[in-house]
A and B are shown apart, each in its own frame.
Chain A
Amino acid sequence: MNESDDIQLLRAIRQGDAAAFQSLYRRHRSGLYSFALLHSGAPDVAADVVQEVFMGLLGDSYGFDPLKGMLANFLYGVARNLVLGHARRNSRWVQPTGADDEDDAFDQVDTAAGPLARLLDDEAAEHLRRALAALAPHYRDVLILFELQEKSYQEIAEICQLEIGTVRSRLARGRAALAKALAPYRDLAKDIA
């Protein structure tokens, strides 16, 4: 995504251009929603987070400064804080859940894939969500941004307000913890196979 396009859209938004606001929203909504969805495991929380991010941008309540970094990373930083705020207010999303009460969390699928592939992807993604929910939020942040959003160490450091060394260490520990949390699901899949 081109940062200069984002800045131009922001300028147009401040002049009251609704189409620019819609374009900016559509550029970033999917990434932010995926991040919030995987982080919280709850589609309604993810939707709320995306809405709050853009409401804040609309009211300029977060004070984005283009000289301090990219808009996309700034939006991820705001989304992260909002997700963590939701998690603090309702701890059920940071605890591992064995229940099937949120099986529809990943109902967005790639329609080009076959039915079986989609089913397997959904199942694996759900396992990932449950394993991530078992991790501490500060490991979840770094893992999702690195593995799903493919952000660099530098970008993650900017989003999470961390030193790069801390990003590296959290990523290594998070990956180890995630592998441990995924192990039961993988064993189950092997048994079924």
Chain B
Amino acid sequence: MTPWEIKGTELVNCNCAYGCPCQFNALPTHGNCIGLGAFEIKSGHHGDVRLDGLCSIGVFKWPGPIHEGRGEGLVIIDARADDAQRQALLRILSGEDTEPGKTVWNVFASTMERVHDPLFETIELSIDVDARRGRVTAGKLVDMTAEPIRNPVTGDEHRARIDLPDGFEYSIAEMGSGSSRVAGPISFKLEASYAQLAHLHLCQNGIVR
């Protein structure tokens, strides 16, 4: 198992309501799960391969709750990654070189029925976790935005966090309102639904605490 460690920020948008019940092991709001997650590595490596500054996006679809499987997935890798970096990222994002169940990518991989060939695309990404704002694009494939949730009465920004002390993705995530347009082998639109913004720090054994 090649050791690896990455630090960075993520923006996730799925079709659940704000606060995504799946984070609490409840059933997804609409019964199924459609979503995507973008991740920028601020610093990281896989074995001897440096991964600093590289971005990736995972696009997913499950007919029911994630843990019931039958998922469909696609990984989009930063076009700037060289061959070694592409291979390294694909191994991490496919849940390889990882203790079982210890990263979100390893867990997702165990629920996949169909994985599309990876795509390589220019990824533009800006994520401000504290402000709950972000924008991610990948050519014509992905356009995802996040903004703060609003109080339905006052219109004020609503700040809410989910804190998973034993999580396999984030320890604490800021909640936002996300909208996305995704084209390609898995295509969908999301409008003002669950968005999650977090700082990630993961390695082959899961979250680095």
- Are A and B part of the same complex? no
